[in-house]
Amino acid sequence: MKEGCDSSTEEDDWVEEEDMFVPATAVAQASCSTEQKAQASSSQPSTSDQTPNCWPYSRPHLYAPATAVAQASCSTQQEVQMFSSQPSTSDQTPNRWPDPRPQVYAPATAVAQASCSTQQKAQASSSQPSTRDQTPSQCQNDYGTYIDLIHETSDEDNDDDLYSAIIASIEDQTQPKEDIPISQILNELSDKIDSLQVCKFNINRSAVLDGAIRGFRRLSYDPNKKMSVKFSDDRGTTEEAVDLGGPRREFLRLLMETLAESDMFEGPEGHLNLALSSSAVREDRYFIAGRAIAVSLVHGGPPPCFLSRTLFACIAEGPDGCRPVLEDITDMELYSKLKQISEAKTLEELRQFTEPLTDYLATAGCLRHLTSLVDKDKLLEDVLMFQVVQRVRGPLERFSDGLGTLGVLQKIKHHPEAFRPVLCYSPGTLTAEIMDHLFAIRWSEMGSNNRAHENRVVAYWRDYLQDAEEDEGPPKLGDILSFATGCDVMPPIGFSPKPSLEFQRGRYPIANTCVNCLRIPLHQSYEDFKSNMDFAIRNTQGFGME
Protein backbone atom coordinates (compact mmCIF):
# COMPACT_ATOMS: atom_id res chain seq x y z
CA MET A 1 0.00 0.00 0.00
CA LYS A 2 1.22 3.41 -0.85
CA GLU A 3 1.46 6.02 1.88
CA GLY A 4 1.69 9.81 1.69
CA CYS A 5 -0.28 10.16 -1.53
CA ASP A 6 -2.30 13.30 -2.15
CA SER A 7 -5.63 13.81 -3.87
CA SER A 8 -4.13 14.16 -7.37
CA THR A 9 -5.08 11.92 -10.28
CA GLU A 10 -2.19 9.57 -9.71
CA GLU A 11 -3.16 5.96 -10.56
CA ASP A 12 -3.64 3.41 -7.83
CA ASP A 13 -1.03 0.69 -7.42
CA TRP A 14 -2.16 -2.99 -7.22
CA VAL A 15 -0.40 -5.37 -4.88
CA GLU A 16 -0.89 -9.10 -5.53
CA GLU A 17 -0.34 -11.39 -2.57
CA GLU A 18 -1.62 -14.97 -2.29
CA ASP A 19 -4.29 -14.49 -4.99
CA MET A 20 -5.76 -11.48 -3.12
CA PHE A 21 -5.60 -8.10 -4.91
CA VAL A 22 -5.17 -5.20 -2.47
CA PRO A 23 -5.28 -1.78 -4.19
CA ALA A 24 -4.39 1.42 -2.43
CA THR A 25 -6.95 4.18 -3.02
CA ALA A 26 -6.82 7.56 -1.42
CA VAL A 27 -10.24 8.38 -0.07
CA ALA A 28 -9.87 11.51 1.99
CA GLN A 29 -7.29 14.11 2.77
CA ALA A 30 -8.24 16.95 5.03
CA SER A 31 -6.64 20.07 6.38
CA CYS A 32 -8.60 21.24 9.34
CA SER A 33 -8.41 23.69 12.18
CA THR A 34 -8.52 22.84 15.85
CA GLU A 35 -12.34 22.67 15.91
CA GLN A 36 -12.75 20.72 12.62
CA LYS A 37 -13.22 16.96 12.20
CA ALA A 38 -12.42 14.80 9.20
CA GLN A 39 -14.72 11.93 8.33
CA ALA A 40 -14.30 9.70 5.32
CA SER A 41 -16.20 6.65 4.26
CA SER A 42 -15.68 4.13 1.54
CA SER A 43 -18.21 3.09 -1.07
CA GLN A 44 -18.78 0.11 -3.39
CA PRO A 45 -16.33 -0.22 -6.29
CA SER A 46 -17.34 1.37 -9.54
CA THR A 47 -17.56 -0.93 -12.50
CA SER A 48 -18.27 1.73 -15.13
CA ASP A 49 -14.75 1.59 -16.48
CA GLN A 50 -14.38 -2.17 -16.56
CA THR A 51 -13.15 -3.56 -19.85
CA PRO A 52 -14.53 -6.91 -20.94
CA ASN A 53 -11.42 -8.86 -21.83
CA CYS A 54 -10.39 -10.23 -18.42
CA TRP A 55 -10.97 -13.93 -17.88
CA PRO A 56 -12.83 -14.61 -14.62
CA TYR A 57 -10.62 -15.74 -11.84
CA SER A 58 -10.98 -19.43 -10.90
CA ARG A 59 -11.73 -18.74 -7.24
CA PRO A 60 -14.28 -16.35 -5.75
CA HIS A 61 -12.98 -12.81 -5.13
CA LEU A 62 -13.88 -11.41 -1.76
CA TYR A 63 -13.84 -7.64 -1.73
CA ALA A 64 -13.24 -6.25 1.71
CA PRO A 65 -13.68 -2.49 1.69
CA ALA A 66 -12.24 -0.57 4.58
CA THR A 67 -14.07 2.40 5.99
CA ALA A 68 -11.85 4.71 7.88
CA VAL A 69 -13.32 7.22 10.23
CA ALA A 70 -10.95 9.71 11.70
CA GLN A 71 -11.64 12.14 14.42
CA ALA A 72 -8.78 14.45 15.10
CA SER A 73 -8.08 17.61 17.06
CA CYS A 74 -5.28 19.08 15.15
CA SER A 75 -3.81 22.40 14.04
CA THR A 76 -3.92 23.94 10.58
CA GLN A 77 -0.79 22.07 9.62
CA GLN A 78 -2.10 18.59 10.56
CA GLU A 79 -3.16 16.14 7.93
CA VAL A 80 -5.32 13.06 8.11
CA GLN A 81 -4.77 10.60 5.33
CA MET A 82 -6.94 7.54 4.99
CA PHE A 83 -6.64 4.73 2.56
CA SER A 84 -9.32 2.23 1.68
CA SER A 85 -8.81 -1.18 0.15
CA GLN A 86 -11.55 -0.98 -2.49
CA PRO A 87 -10.04 -2.03 -5.80
CA SER A 88 -10.04 0.50 -8.59
CA THR A 89 -11.49 -0.92 -11.77
CA SER A 90 -10.66 2.01 -13.99
CA ASP A 91 -7.66 0.26 -15.52
CA GLN A 92 -9.35 -3.04 -16.28
CA THR A 93 -9.93 -3.93 -19.91
CA PRO A 94 -13.57 -3.63 -21.03
CA ASN A 95 -14.30 -7.16 -22.17
CA ARG A 96 -14.56 -8.91 -18.83
CA TRP A 97 -16.89 -11.90 -18.82
CA PRO A 98 -19.62 -11.72 -16.16
CA ASP A 99 -18.90 -13.90 -13.17
CA PRO A 100 -21.89 -16.27 -12.67
CA ARG A 101 -21.15 -16.60 -8.97
CA PRO A 102 -22.66 -14.22 -6.47
CA GLN A 103 -20.22 -11.48 -5.46
CA VAL A 104 -19.99 -11.22 -1.72
CA TYR A 105 -18.77 -8.00 -0.19
CA ALA A 106 -17.39 -8.27 3.31
CA PRO A 107 -16.66 -4.77 4.52
CA ALA A 108 -13.96 -4.14 7.01
CA THR A 109 -14.28 -0.99 9.10
CA ALA A 110 -11.26 0.77 10.42
CA VAL A 111 -11.75 3.46 13.02
CA ALA A 112 -8.94 5.74 13.97
CA GLN A 113 -8.92 8.33 16.65
CA ALA A 114 -5.90 10.52 16.98
CA SER A 115 -4.96 13.45 19.18
CA CYS A 116 -1.82 14.84 17.82
CA SER A 117 0.39 17.86 18.15
CA THR A 118 1.42 20.31 15.42
CA GLN A 119 4.20 18.07 14.14
CA GLN A 120 2.25 14.74 14.27
CA LYS A 121 0.29 13.11 11.48
CA ALA A 122 -2.43 10.48 11.77
CA GLN A 123 -2.54 7.98 9.01
CA ALA A 124 -5.02 5.09 8.90
CA SER A 125 -4.92 2.43 6.29
CA SER A 126 -6.49 -1.01 5.89
CA SER A 127 -5.54 -3.95 3.75
CA GLN A 128 -6.58 -7.57 3.24
CA PRO A 129 -5.37 -9.74 6.14
CA SER A 130 -2.69 -12.30 5.40
CA THR A 131 -3.80 -15.81 6.24
CA ARG A 132 -0.33 -16.57 7.50
CA ASP A 133 -0.84 -14.25 10.47
CA GLN A 134 -4.34 -15.42 11.41
CA THR A 135 -4.89 -17.32 14.61
CA PRO A 136 -7.04 -20.50 14.63
CA SER A 137 -9.93 -18.61 16.26
CA GLN A 138 -9.81 -15.96 13.52
CA CYS A 139 -9.86 -18.68 10.85
CA GLN A 140 -12.90 -20.27 12.46
CA ASN A 141 -14.69 -16.92 12.57
CA ASP A 142 -13.85 -16.30 8.91
CA TYR A 143 -15.15 -19.73 7.96
CA GLY A 144 -18.36 -19.16 9.89
CA THR A 145 -18.84 -15.83 8.13
CA TYR A 146 -18.25 -17.53 4.77
CA ILE A 147 -20.88 -20.18 5.51
CA ASP A 148 -23.39 -17.55 6.61
CA LEU A 149 -22.81 -15.50 3.45
CA ILE A 150 -23.17 -18.50 1.17
CA HIS A 151 -26.37 -19.46 2.98
CA GLU A 152 -27.77 -15.96 2.43
CA THR A 153 -26.84 -15.68 -1.23
CA SER A 154 -27.62 -19.23 -2.41
CA ASP A 155 -30.94 -19.68 -4.16
CA GLU A 156 -30.64 -23.21 -5.52
CA ASP A 157 -33.81 -25.31 -5.37
CA ASN A 158 -32.09 -28.29 -3.83
CA ASP A 159 -30.33 -26.40 -1.04
CA ASP A 160 -32.83 -27.62 1.55
CA ASP A 161 -32.44 -31.23 0.48
CA LEU A 162 -28.65 -30.97 0.50
CA TYR A 163 -28.66 -29.31 3.91
CA SER A 164 -30.97 -32.00 5.31
CA ALA A 165 -28.77 -34.76 3.90
CA ILE A 166 -25.64 -33.22 5.44
CA ILE A 167 -27.30 -32.80 8.83
CA ALA A 168 -28.64 -36.37 8.73
CA SER A 169 -25.17 -37.69 7.87
CA ILE A 170 -23.58 -35.75 10.74
CA GLU A 171 -26.24 -36.96 13.19
CA ASP A 172 -25.73 -40.57 12.10
CA GLN A 173 -22.01 -40.27 12.84
CA THR A 174 -22.30 -38.39 16.12
CA GLN A 175 -25.43 -39.77 17.78
CA PRO A 176 -24.80 -42.55 20.29
CA LYS A 177 -26.35 -45.86 19.36
CA GLU A 178 -28.71 -46.28 22.28
CA ASP A 179 -30.39 -49.55 23.21
CA ILE A 180 -33.87 -48.87 21.85
CA PRO A 181 -36.47 -51.68 21.74
CA ILE A 182 -37.09 -53.01 18.24
CA SER A 183 -40.83 -52.43 18.65
CA GLN A 184 -40.24 -48.71 19.27
CA ILE A 185 -38.01 -48.40 16.20
CA LEU A 186 -40.50 -50.16 13.92
CA ASN A 187 -43.45 -48.25 15.30
CA GLU A 188 -41.70 -45.00 14.41
CA LEU A 189 -41.33 -46.25 10.84
CA SER A 190 -44.92 -47.53 10.66
CA ASP A 191 -46.28 -44.12 11.65
CA LYS A 192 -45.52 -43.00 8.08
CA ILE A 193 -47.95 -45.56 6.61
CA ASP A 194 -51.10 -44.01 5.17
CA SER A 195 -53.96 -46.26 6.31
CA LEU A 196 -56.41 -44.49 3.96
CA GLN A 197 -54.46 -45.52 0.85
CA VAL A 198 -54.35 -49.20 -0.16
CA CYS A 199 -52.08 -51.36 -2.33
CA LYS A 200 -53.69 -54.65 -3.32
CA PHE A 201 -52.02 -58.07 -3.53
CA ASN A 202 -53.73 -61.07 -5.12
CA ILE A 203 -52.03 -64.18 -3.77
CA ASN A 204 -52.27 -67.89 -4.44
CA ARG A 205 -50.77 -70.02 -1.71
CA SER A 206 -49.05 -72.30 -4.21
CA ALA A 207 -47.13 -69.35 -5.74
CA VAL A 208 -46.67 -66.80 -2.97
CA LEU A 209 -43.41 -65.33 -4.29
CA ASP A 210 -44.81 -64.82 -7.79
CA GLY A 211 -47.80 -62.94 -6.37
CA ALA A 212 -45.51 -60.84 -4.20
CA ILE A 213 -43.30 -59.92 -7.18
CA ARG A 214 -46.34 -58.84 -9.18
CA GLY A 215 -47.59 -56.72 -6.33
CA PHE A 216 -44.26 -55.07 -5.54
CA ARG A 217 -43.63 -54.24 -9.21
CA ARG A 218 -47.06 -52.75 -9.85
CA LEU A 219 -46.77 -49.10 -10.84
CA SER A 220 -49.30 -48.07 -8.22
CA TYR A 221 -47.41 -49.82 -5.42
CA ASP A 222 -46.19 -47.59 -2.63
CA PRO A 223 -44.67 -49.11 0.55
CA ASN A 224 -46.10 -46.19 2.53
CA LYS A 225 -49.63 -47.34 1.71
CA LYS A 226 -51.55 -49.98 3.63
CA MET A 227 -51.44 -53.52 2.21
CA SER A 228 -54.65 -55.36 1.31
CA VAL A 229 -54.21 -59.07 0.59
CA LYS A 230 -56.78 -61.36 -1.01
CA PHE A 231 -56.08 -65.08 -1.21
CA SER A 232 -57.43 -67.54 -3.75
CA ASP A 233 -57.41 -71.31 -3.25
CA ASP A 234 -55.83 -73.77 -5.65
CA ARG A 235 -59.01 -73.86 -7.78
CA GLY A 236 -58.86 -70.10 -8.28
CA THR A 237 -61.97 -69.24 -6.26
CA THR A 238 -61.75 -66.16 -4.09
CA GLU A 239 -61.86 -66.66 -0.36
CA GLU A 240 -64.43 -64.56 1.44
CA ALA A 241 -62.20 -62.34 3.51
CA VAL A 242 -61.64 -58.63 3.89
CA ASP A 243 -58.09 -57.84 4.96
CA LEU A 244 -58.16 -56.06 8.28
CA GLY A 245 -54.78 -57.50 9.25
CA GLY A 246 -55.08 -61.28 9.31
CA PRO A 247 -54.62 -62.05 5.58
CA ARG A 248 -51.74 -59.57 5.43
CA ARG A 249 -49.93 -61.25 8.32
CA GLU A 250 -50.44 -64.70 6.84
CA PHE A 251 -49.20 -63.54 3.44
CA LEU A 252 -46.06 -62.05 4.98
CA ARG A 253 -45.49 -65.23 7.01
CA LEU A 254 -45.75 -67.41 3.90
CA LEU A 255 -43.52 -64.97 2.01
CA MET A 256 -40.74 -65.21 4.61
CA GLU A 257 -40.91 -69.01 4.44
CA THR A 258 -40.79 -68.94 0.63
CA LEU A 259 -37.78 -66.62 0.57
CA ALA A 260 -35.82 -68.91 2.88
CA GLU A 261 -36.43 -71.81 0.48
CA SER A 262 -35.71 -69.85 -2.72
CA ASP A 263 -32.62 -70.09 -4.93
CA MET A 264 -31.46 -66.68 -3.65
CA PHE A 265 -30.22 -68.16 -0.36
CA GLU A 266 -28.07 -71.11 0.59
CA GLY A 267 -26.77 -72.69 3.76
CA PRO A 268 -28.07 -74.57 6.77
CA GLU A 269 -31.55 -73.72 8.06
CA GLY A 270 -31.58 -70.51 10.05
CA HIS A 271 -28.06 -69.55 8.90
CA LEU A 272 -28.48 -68.58 5.25
CA ASN A 273 -26.13 -66.57 3.07
CA LEU A 274 -26.82 -65.13 -0.36
CA ALA A 275 -26.47 -67.59 -3.23
CA LEU A 276 -25.49 -66.59 -6.75
CA SER A 277 -28.44 -67.08 -9.11
CA SER A 278 -28.20 -65.70 -12.63
CA SER A 279 -31.97 -65.78 -13.08
CA ALA A 280 -32.50 -63.92 -9.80
CA VAL A 281 -29.98 -61.30 -10.90
CA ARG A 282 -31.65 -60.92 -14.29
CA GLU A 283 -35.13 -60.59 -12.73
CA ASP A 284 -33.88 -58.35 -9.90
CA ARG A 285 -35.34 -60.68 -7.29
CA TYR A 286 -32.67 -59.86 -4.73
CA PHE A 287 -34.15 -56.37 -4.48
CA ILE A 288 -37.63 -57.89 -4.07
CA ALA A 289 -36.31 -60.14 -1.29
CA GLY A 290 -34.86 -57.19 0.62
CA ARG A 291 -38.02 -55.15 0.13
CA ALA A 292 -40.21 -58.05 1.29
CA ILE A 293 -38.26 -58.32 4.57
CA ALA A 294 -38.44 -54.56 5.19
CA VAL A 295 -42.17 -54.46 4.45
CA SER A 296 -42.84 -57.44 6.71
CA LEU A 297 -41.08 -55.79 9.64
CA VAL A 298 -42.83 -52.43 9.29
CA HIS A 299 -46.30 -53.65 8.24
CA GLY A 300 -46.70 -55.97 11.21
CA GLY A 301 -45.52 -59.25 9.68
CA PRO A 302 -43.14 -61.81 11.18
CA PRO A 303 -39.36 -61.42 11.13
CA PRO A 304 -37.30 -63.56 8.74
CA CYS A 305 -34.98 -65.03 11.40
CA PHE A 306 -32.96 -66.95 8.81
CA LEU A 307 -29.98 -64.73 7.89
CA SER A 308 -26.51 -65.84 8.94
CA ARG A 309 -24.50 -63.59 11.17
CA THR A 310 -22.00 -63.10 8.34
CA LEU A 311 -24.71 -61.82 6.01
CA PHE A 312 -26.09 -59.60 8.76
CA ALA A 313 -22.60 -58.12 9.32
CA CYS A 314 -22.35 -57.39 5.58
CA ILE A 315 -25.65 -55.50 5.76
CA ALA A 316 -25.05 -53.63 9.01
CA GLU A 317 -21.33 -52.86 8.70
CA GLY A 318 -20.65 -53.20 4.98
CA PRO A 319 -19.00 -56.06 3.05
CA ASP A 320 -15.52 -55.07 4.19
CA GLY A 321 -16.56 -55.20 7.83
CA CYS A 322 -17.54 -58.88 7.98
CA ARG A 323 -15.36 -61.91 8.64
CA PRO A 324 -16.73 -65.12 7.07
CA VAL A 325 -16.05 -68.43 8.76
CA LEU A 326 -15.49 -71.86 7.27
CA GLU A 327 -19.04 -72.91 8.17
CA ASP A 328 -20.38 -70.30 5.70
CA ILE A 329 -19.15 -72.47 2.80
CA THR A 330 -22.06 -74.49 1.41
CA ASP A 331 -20.14 -76.29 -1.35
CA MET A 332 -19.19 -79.47 0.48
CA GLU A 333 -16.28 -80.32 -1.85
CA LEU A 334 -14.76 -76.88 -1.41
CA TYR A 335 -15.47 -77.03 2.31
CA SER A 336 -13.57 -80.31 2.73
CA LYS A 337 -10.52 -79.01 0.83
CA LEU A 338 -10.44 -75.77 2.81
CA LYS A 339 -10.81 -77.81 5.98
CA GLN A 340 -7.67 -79.76 5.04
CA ILE A 341 -5.78 -76.53 4.42
CA SER A 342 -6.86 -75.16 7.81
CA GLU A 343 -5.53 -78.33 9.51
CA ALA A 344 -2.16 -78.35 7.74
CA LYS A 345 0.72 -78.68 10.21
CA THR A 346 3.70 -78.12 7.94
CA LEU A 347 4.55 -76.06 4.86
CA GLU A 348 4.72 -79.25 2.77
CA GLU A 349 1.19 -80.25 3.81
CA LEU A 350 -0.05 -76.74 3.09
CA ARG A 351 1.34 -76.83 -0.45
CA GLN A 352 0.04 -80.36 -0.96
CA PHE A 353 -3.53 -79.47 0.10
CA THR A 354 -3.48 -76.26 -1.95
CA GLU A 355 -2.46 -77.97 -5.20
CA PRO A 356 -5.98 -79.33 -6.10
CA LEU A 357 -7.41 -75.80 -5.75
CA THR A 358 -4.98 -74.11 -8.14
CA ASP A 359 -7.59 -73.27 -10.79
CA TYR A 360 -10.09 -72.07 -8.21
CA LEU A 361 -7.50 -69.93 -6.44
CA ALA A 362 -6.48 -68.37 -9.75
CA THR A 363 -10.10 -67.51 -10.54
CA ALA A 364 -10.60 -66.07 -7.06
CA GLY A 365 -7.39 -64.03 -7.27
CA CYS A 366 -5.95 -65.90 -4.30
CA LEU A 367 -3.18 -67.88 -6.01
CA ARG A 368 0.19 -67.13 -4.45
CA HIS A 369 3.56 -68.63 -3.59
CA LEU A 370 3.48 -70.08 -0.09
CA THR A 371 6.74 -69.51 1.77
CA SER A 372 5.79 -70.40 5.33
CA LEU A 373 2.99 -71.89 7.39
CA VAL A 374 2.01 -68.39 8.44
CA ASP A 375 0.59 -67.84 4.93
CA LYS A 376 -2.19 -70.34 5.69
CA ASP A 377 -4.41 -67.99 7.70
CA LYS A 378 -4.24 -65.16 5.17
CA LEU A 379 -4.97 -67.58 2.31
CA LEU A 380 -8.07 -68.97 4.07
CA GLU A 381 -9.29 -65.47 4.91
CA ASP A 382 -9.02 -64.35 1.28
CA VAL A 383 -10.74 -67.47 -0.06
CA LEU A 384 -13.62 -67.13 2.41
CA MET A 385 -14.07 -63.45 1.55
CA PHE A 386 -14.23 -64.29 -2.15
CA GLN A 387 -16.60 -67.25 -1.85
CA VAL A 388 -19.03 -65.77 0.68
CA VAL A 389 -18.88 -62.02 0.01
CA GLN A 390 -17.07 -60.84 -3.13
CA ARG A 391 -18.64 -63.45 -5.38
CA VAL A 392 -22.13 -62.15 -4.55
CA ARG A 393 -21.24 -58.47 -4.22
CA GLY A 394 -23.79 -57.42 -6.86
CA PRO A 395 -26.71 -59.39 -5.36
CA LEU A 396 -25.71 -58.09 -1.91
CA GLU A 397 -25.99 -54.48 -3.08
CA ARG A 398 -29.44 -55.06 -4.57
CA PHE A 399 -30.58 -56.94 -1.46
CA SER A 400 -29.42 -54.02 0.69
CA ASP A 401 -31.20 -51.57 -1.62
CA GLY A 402 -34.42 -53.50 -1.05
CA LEU A 403 -33.89 -53.39 2.71
CA GLY A 404 -33.72 -49.61 2.38
CA THR A 405 -37.49 -49.58 1.81
CA LEU A 406 -39.27 -47.51 4.47
CA GLY A 407 -35.89 -46.58 6.02
CA VAL A 408 -35.25 -50.04 7.49
CA LEU A 409 -31.62 -50.35 6.30
CA GLN A 410 -30.66 -47.07 7.95
CA LYS A 411 -32.18 -48.25 11.24
CA ILE A 412 -30.34 -51.58 10.94
CA LYS A 413 -27.03 -49.76 10.61
CA HIS A 414 -27.85 -47.43 13.49
CA HIS A 415 -29.25 -50.13 15.84
CA PRO A 416 -27.61 -53.43 14.79
CA GLU A 417 -28.06 -55.12 18.15
CA ALA A 418 -31.80 -54.46 18.12
CA PHE A 419 -32.23 -55.98 14.65
CA ARG A 420 -29.90 -58.94 15.00
CA PRO A 421 -32.40 -61.22 16.84
CA VAL A 422 -35.16 -60.58 14.27
CA LEU A 423 -33.01 -61.03 11.15
CA CYS A 424 -30.74 -63.84 12.35
CA TYR A 425 -31.73 -67.16 13.82
CA SER A 426 -32.71 -67.16 17.46
CA PRO A 427 -34.21 -70.05 19.44
CA GLY A 428 -37.99 -70.06 19.75
CA THR A 429 -39.16 -67.83 22.56
CA LEU A 430 -42.82 -68.82 22.66
CA THR A 431 -43.82 -70.55 25.89
CA ALA A 432 -47.12 -71.58 27.41
CA GLU A 433 -46.85 -68.74 29.91
CA ILE A 434 -46.25 -66.15 27.18
CA MET A 435 -49.21 -67.45 25.20
CA ASP A 436 -51.43 -67.35 28.27
CA HIS A 437 -50.58 -63.72 28.98
CA LEU A 438 -50.76 -62.78 25.31
CA PHE A 439 -54.50 -63.44 24.99
CA ALA A 440 -56.89 -61.21 26.92
CA ILE A 441 -59.89 -63.24 28.12
CA ARG A 442 -63.30 -61.74 27.56
CA TRP A 443 -65.40 -63.09 30.40
CA SER A 444 -69.12 -63.15 30.80
CA GLU A 445 -70.69 -61.36 33.71
CA MET A 446 -69.60 -62.58 37.11
CA GLY A 447 -72.13 -64.99 38.66
CA SER A 448 -73.78 -65.90 35.36
CA ASN A 449 -74.21 -69.50 34.14
CA ASN A 450 -71.87 -68.84 31.24
CA ARG A 451 -69.15 -67.67 33.60
CA ALA A 452 -69.10 -71.08 35.34
CA HIS A 453 -68.58 -72.89 31.99
CA GLU A 454 -65.93 -70.38 30.98
CA ASN A 455 -63.97 -70.93 34.21
CA ARG A 456 -63.82 -74.66 33.42
CA VAL A 457 -62.77 -74.21 29.78
CA VAL A 458 -60.09 -71.64 30.60
CA ALA A 459 -58.41 -74.33 32.71
CA TYR A 460 -58.60 -76.64 29.65
CA TRP A 461 -57.03 -73.90 27.52
CA ARG A 462 -54.08 -73.45 29.85
CA ASP A 463 -53.54 -77.22 30.09
CA TYR A 464 -53.65 -77.41 26.31
CA LEU A 465 -50.91 -74.77 26.03
CA GLN A 466 -48.79 -76.57 28.62
CA ASP A 467 -49.14 -79.93 26.82
CA ALA A 468 -48.26 -78.31 23.48
CA GLU A 469 -45.06 -76.87 24.93
CA GLU A 470 -44.03 -80.18 26.50
CA ASP A 471 -44.90 -82.31 23.46
CA GLU A 472 -43.61 -80.28 20.53
CA GLY A 473 -42.35 -77.04 22.01
CA PRO A 474 -42.43 -73.64 20.24
CA PRO A 475 -43.49 -75.04 16.80
CA LYS A 476 -46.80 -76.31 18.20
CA LEU A 477 -47.38 -73.07 20.07
CA GLY A 478 -46.56 -71.24 16.85
CA ASP A 479 -49.27 -73.21 15.03
CA ILE A 480 -51.81 -72.16 17.66
CA LEU A 481 -50.74 -68.52 17.38
CA SER A 482 -50.87 -68.69 13.58
CA PHE A 483 -54.41 -70.12 13.70
CA ALA A 484 -55.53 -67.19 15.83
CA THR A 485 -53.57 -64.29 14.31
CA GLY A 486 -51.97 -65.35 11.02
CA CYS A 487 -48.45 -65.14 12.52
CA ASP A 488 -46.60 -68.12 13.98
CA VAL A 489 -44.29 -65.86 15.99
CA MET A 490 -44.83 -62.57 17.70
CA PRO A 491 -44.20 -59.74 15.21
CA PRO A 492 -41.37 -57.42 16.29
CA ILE A 493 -43.77 -54.49 15.98
CA GLY A 494 -46.34 -56.28 18.17
CA PHE A 495 -49.98 -57.23 17.58
CA SER A 496 -52.63 -54.64 16.88
CA PRO A 497 -55.17 -55.19 18.32
CA LYS A 498 -54.06 -57.32 21.23
CA PRO A 499 -55.10 -60.99 20.80
CA SER A 500 -58.25 -61.95 22.70
CA LEU A 501 -59.91 -65.18 23.83
CA GLU A 502 -63.67 -65.67 23.62
CA PHE A 503 -66.05 -68.60 24.04
CA GLN A 504 -68.60 -70.27 21.78
CA ARG A 505 -70.84 -73.33 21.89
CA GLY A 506 -69.56 -75.03 18.77
CA ARG A 507 -67.48 -78.15 18.35
CA TYR A 508 -64.34 -76.57 16.91
CA PRO A 509 -62.52 -73.36 17.64
CA ILE A 510 -63.11 -70.34 15.39
CA ALA A 511 -60.55 -67.63 14.70
CA ASN A 512 -60.94 -64.11 13.39
CA THR A 513 -57.39 -63.20 12.46
CA CYS A 514 -58.37 -59.70 11.37
CA VAL A 515 -59.02 -58.73 15.00
CA ASN A 516 -56.77 -61.47 16.50
CA CYS A 517 -59.70 -63.16 18.25
CA LEU A 518 -59.82 -66.87 19.08
CA ARG A 519 -63.15 -68.42 20.12
CA ILE A 520 -62.68 -71.73 21.91
CA PRO A 521 -65.47 -74.36 22.33
CA LEU A 522 -67.17 -74.96 25.67
CA HIS A 523 -66.58 -78.75 26.01
CA GLN A 524 -67.41 -80.82 29.07
CA SER A 525 -64.14 -82.81 29.10
CA TYR A 526 -60.52 -81.96 28.46
CA GLU A 527 -60.09 -84.90 26.02
CA ASP A 528 -62.84 -83.55 23.74
CA PHE A 529 -61.44 -80.04 24.00
CA LYS A 530 -57.89 -81.12 23.09
CA SER A 531 -58.79 -83.41 20.19
CA ASN A 532 -61.08 -80.84 18.55
CA MET A 533 -58.53 -78.07 18.99
CA ASP A 534 -55.80 -80.21 17.39
CA PHE A 535 -58.02 -81.19 14.47
CA ALA A 536 -59.02 -77.60 13.68
CA ILE A 537 -55.52 -76.16 13.97
CA ARG A 538 -53.86 -78.83 11.81
CA ASN A 539 -56.50 -79.05 9.07
CA THR A 540 -57.80 -75.54 8.60
CA GLN A 541 -56.17 -73.35 5.96
CA GLY A 542 -57.54 -70.16 4.56
CA PHE A 543 -60.15 -67.59 5.47
CA GLY A 544 -63.92 -67.88 5.37
CA MET A 545 -63.70 -71.67 5.72
CA GLU A 546 -65.23 -73.88 8.37
CA contacts within 13 A on the Cβ side of 75: 6
CA distance 324 to 310: 6
Residue 266 phi/psi, 5-degree rounding, is -150, 155
CB 91 within 8 A of CB 11: yes
Sort residue 385 into left (φ over 0), alpha (ψ -120 to 50) or beta. Answer: alpha
The residues carrying an active-site annotation are 514
Q: Which of 116, 123, 40, 28 is nearest to 74 (CA)?
A: 116
Dihedral pair phi/psi, residue 487, rounded to 5°? -115, 135
Neighbours of 319 (CB within 10 A): 17
Q: Which residues contact 180 (CB under 8 A, 6 or more apart)?
A: 415, 418
Tell me if 203 sits within 8 A of 229, measured CB to CB.
Answer: yes
Strand partners, 231: 203
Q: Which residues pair with 227 in a beta bridge?
A: 199
Largest CA distance in the chain: 124
Dihedrals phi, psi of 245, to nearest 5 degrees: 140, -40
Q: CA 324, 327, 333, 334: dihedral to nearest 10 degrees?
A: 10
What would you report as the CA-atom Rg of the chain, rounded to the nearest whole angstrom? 39
Q: Return the sign of the alpha-carbon dihedral for residues 372, 378, 384, 387.
A: negative
